[in-house]
Structure 1
Amino acid sequence: MSQRDTLVHLFAGGCGGTVGAILTCPLEVVKTRLQSSSVTLYISEVQLSTVNGASVARVSPPGPLHCLKLILEKEGPRSLFRGLGPNLVGVAPSRAIYFAAYSTAKEKLNNVFDPDSTQVHMLSAGSAGFTAITATNPIWLIKTRLQLDARNRGERRMSAFECVRRVYQSDGLRGFYRGMSASYAGISETVIHFVIYENIKRKLIESKANANMDDEDESVKDASDFVGMMLAAATSKTCATSIAYPHEVIRTRLREEGSKYRSFFQTLNMVVREEGYRALYRGLTTHLVRQIPNTAIMMCTYELVVYLLNG
């Protein structure tokens, strides 16, 4: 891969990630709040006890719509964009690093394994995910802390710089890498996503080639090609997210300020023991609603930018 090709993939990946992050930020905030162990996420429902007639409060987690309503009522619309700053700072380099690493690894592995085989896609996605996570974890920790910083209307909100200072004062440099073990576990989601995506993409290309055998220029893309890529990205991301989602909840818990959660497996065991297995999938609906359009937008933007820059 030439230096120009690497820069093209860097730029395209950054553009795709930025567009997706801006459009889906409110859903990201709701999802993070639902994943948290914070008591502000729970509502009490008063019921009558059938034993002694006394009123008791049953505490249950709210759904996505109720959580959204609470944020709007208590904190205002601006809170739906909490953490957008660090997100924008991080998403461009993160996606750029990811796509550049993925393309580079894929090119090299194609010389080792069968070109564009499942092994190539899995190893490329895994190495790209590891590289991006290691480089950008501090940014995502700050983003999560800001999204969990629930303040009522009129109250002073914690800034990103204040958040950085508090993390460093409490945990030092190691504090910026909390939750990274869960992110590494989440590489499995990335691998599954790209394996499915590349297979669907290859099928679409083969289908178009068979349908346009008489055309002289098969490299020209039209709107249907990008719609197909969006559907491929949405389908692959839905499958991958549904399988690997628990790591998202564990990562959010590990990144909470003053958290009792210390390690990946300790957090996993504690969540299951205290809240049950269903807690590992809290916020999944919101996550899917966000990830499907976000991934589709990101992948389509990436493919479009690469296509335009490569002529």
Structure 2
Amino acid sequence: MSNAIVNGVAGAGGGIVAQIITYPLQTVNTRQQTERVAKKDSVPSPATQPAGSTLLHIFQVIRTEGLGGLYSGLKPSLLGTAASQGIYYSFYQAFKNKAEAIAAAKKRKGQGDGSPGMLSWLIVAALAGSLNVLLTNPIWVLVTRMQTHTQAEKKILEAKREALLKEASENDLLHSSLPGQLAALDSIKPRPYGTFQAASEVYHESGIAGFWKGIIPTLIMVCNPSIQFMIYESLLKHLRTKRSVNKRSSTNITAVEIFLVGAVAKLGATVSTYPLLVVKSRLQAKQEIGGNISLRYSGLH
């Protein structure tokens, strides 16, 4: 079995375990990212409402939807994780082998030391990440829809309730049927929503292209590892330089320091690309809430 396949299978297995453990947090995070309302003047706007703390949001979901609400879309998510990890590591290993072969060929010609440089590794990671995004984006569109389905359904019911109250207010009277209509709306529970329903909704809204909603910010986010790597190397260089200036006996970096530098680098990369993640989630979520086209996104703006 080739290294590319072995790395792909190993990456897929590890990704599935991590996905199961962290999925409730991902669900709540996606719902917070996609929470939005329209301005009163009906001008399209992605303005957000206060999301509240993540922990309170988790308890709210459990109270209203049960534990199952935290795992909406888990099945396609596991498929997406397995596919993403498998595709990424397989392509990464294949491109890595190619980069190493090119470096070895250059060494035989008297160029370089026979190992790929930093730029080569960044290109390898970018190519593998881009191909992974292009091939698996439809799965993540469905996962986002399923994670935010209940949220969208509640918005639809809220819009219907507001419409009934507005009609009664404008007519300056309270229809005898209004209390019954409001009670009927309050009694409606979110309908079952599976992968097939999500796929049908995406196709109905945007056709085949809808399955690649959010592809541009997702492709841009492929640079996340590059940013992390840049911050990591810069911090290590700063540490070594500082110790050299202080004339310490050893400039070696300890395991704890490497861990902390890695954590800071990952945090920096995540913070810098997080707005793109919000844009991606909003593009992939349901594009109309309660029939209000002011909440529909036509692109990155």
TM-score tier, shorter chain, comes to: 0.5 to 0.7
Contact preservation (8 Å) 1:122, 1:195: no
Q: Specify the alignment match of 1:132 in structure 2.
A: 132
Contact preservation (8 Å) 2:19, 2:81: yes
Q: How many residues are treated as equivalent by the alignment?
A: 223
Q: Specify the alignment match of 1:249 in structure 2.
A: 278
Q: Specify the alignment match of 1:262 in structure 2.
A: 298
Q: Deviations over 1:91-118 (max 9, x none)?
A: 1111111111122222322334762532
CA distance in 2, matches of 1:232, 1:104: 29
CA distance in 2, matches of 1:17, 1:168: 28
CA distance in 1, matches of 2:146, 2:72: 6
Distance change (3 Å), C-alpha of 1:199 and 1:78: farther
Matches within 5 A, 1:200-215: none
In the alignment, structure 1 residue 61 sits paired with structure 2 residue 51: yes
2:145 alignment partner AA: R
Matches within 5 A, 1:221-232: none
Q: Identity over the aligned pairs, expressed in percent?
A: 31
Matches within 5 A, 1:99-114: 99-110=89-100, 111-112=102-103
1:132 alignment partner AA: N
In the alignment, structure 1 residue 185 sits paired with structure 2 residue 220: yes
Q: Specify the alignment match of 2:145 in structure 1.
A: 145
Q: Deviations over 1:257-301 (max 9, x none)?
A: 12522222x1xxxxxxxxxxxxxxxxxxxxxxxxxxxxxxxxxxx
Q: Specify the alignment match of 2:35 in structure 1.
A: 37
Shift of 1:37: 3.2
CA distance in 2, matches of 1:120, 1:11: 24
CA distance in 2, matches of 1:5, 1:73: 47
Contact preservation (8 Å) 2:7, 2:89: yes
The answer to which of 190-199 and 90-99 deviates more is 190-199
Q: Specify the alignment match of 2:201 in structure 1.
A: 166
Contact preservation (8 Å) 1:129, 1:190: no
2:138 alignment partner AA: P
The answer to which of 6-15 and 187-196 deviates more is 187-196
Q: Deviations over 1:26-51 (max 9, x none)?
A: 00001101101345xxxxxxxxxxxx
The answer to which of 68-77 and 228-237 deviates more is 228-237
Q: Specify the alignment match of 1:276 in structure 2.
A: none
Q: Deviations over 1:118-169 (max 9, x none)?
A: 2122111111110100000000000000001116895433111111111112
CA distance in 1, matches of 2:258, 2:20: 20
Shift of 1:90: 1.0
Distance change (3 Å), C-alpha of 1:236 and 1:120: farther
Contact preservation (8 Å) 2:218, 2:276: yes
CA RMSD of aligned residues (A): 3.2
Q: Which blocks of at least 5 consecutive residues in structure 1 are unaligned?
A: 40-58, 201-224, 267-311
CA distance in 1, matches of 2:281, 2:18: 20
Higher relative contact order (CA 8 A, sep 6+): 1
Q: Normalising by structure 1, report the TM-score.
A: 0.63
Contact preservation (8 Å) 2:4, 2:92: no
Matches within 5 A, 1:7-26: 7-26=5-24
2:62 alignment partner AA: L
* Structure exhibiting the larger radius of gyration computed from Cα positions: 2
Distance change (3 Å), C-alpha of 1:87 and 1:233: farther
Contact preservation (8 Å) 1:121, 1:198: no
Distance change (3 Å), C-alpha of 1:126 and 1:241: same
Q: Specify the alignment match of 1:219 in structure 2.
A: none
Q: Specify the alignment match of 1:76 in structure 2.
A: 66
Match of 2:26 among 22, 28, 32: 28
Q: Which blocks of at least 5 consecutive residues in structure 2 are unaligned?
A: 38-48, 104-111, 155-187, 236-254, 289-295
Q: Specify the alignment match of 2:2 in structure 1.
A: 4
Q: Normalising by structure 2, report the TM-score.
A: 0.65
